[in-house]
Structure 1
Amino acid sequence: MSGPETVDRALLTAAVVLIVIAGAGLLTRVWRGPSMLDRAISLDVCAALIIAGLGAKSAFARDPFYFPIMLVLAFLGFTGSVGIARFIAVRDRPKKTRQQNEGGK
């Protein structure tokens, strides 16, 4: 192995280690998250970590096979986050009181 290849492998290994550490922190946030919004954001970060892991695997193998899969996962993660945010926004909307419904009489 030449010098640049050794540096590439070391950096990719460090990236994978950081992804694993972030995944462990993510699991604790999903488990302990005090609110539903914390858990939803954690699941969005989970999608990002999966994409990052696939990117690291693709870089190790020097194979672009996983790029379309990463794109689809990014789209699904985004739409899932938007859907959860809309659900939480509707659920947490304050209820109108009877006085507000009657026009403030």
Structure 2
Amino acid sequence: MTSVDAVLLDAALAVILLAGALLLIRIWRGPSMLDRAVGFDVAAALIVAGIGVQAASTRTRYYLSIMLVIAFLGFTSSVGIARFIAVRDRPKLPTTQPKEGP
């Protein structure tokens, strides 16, 4: 591995760690449930990126299947959370009262 590769991988890892720290702040202080859900989806993407940096630095391809599984789990969990929020925030239909009369 050349020195340029090592510097670029270290820079990528630093950016991922900074994004992870900012993400934890967003999850902790998120004003709504949707902000936290998006935060957890981004966390899955950052984990995949971190594993990708590890795979590139060790030059192994065994991590690729792990990355694929984590990306799939992150996607399905974000879809599930979005559906849950959509059902929870659905407006209630007004109930109609039967007319009284002869």
When the two structures are superposed, what TM-score results if normalisation uses the length of structure 2?
A: 0.92
Tell me the equivalent position of 2:86: 89
Separation of aligned partners in 2, 1:96 and 1:64: 53
The alignment covers a number of residue pairs equal to 98
Matched, 1:78 2:68: no
Cα drift, residue 45 of structure 1? 0.2
Cα RMSD (Å): 1.3
Match of 1:65 among 62, 67, 73: 62
Superposed structure 1 runs of 4+ greater than 3 Å apart: none
Which residues of structure 2 form unaligned runs of 5+? none
Cα drift, residue 98 of structure 1? 1.8
Matched, 1:18 2:11: no
Name the structure with the higher helix share: 1
1:9-31 CA-partner distances (Å, limit 9, x unpaired): 00000000000000000000000
Query: What percentage of aligned pairs have identical amino acids?
Result: 62
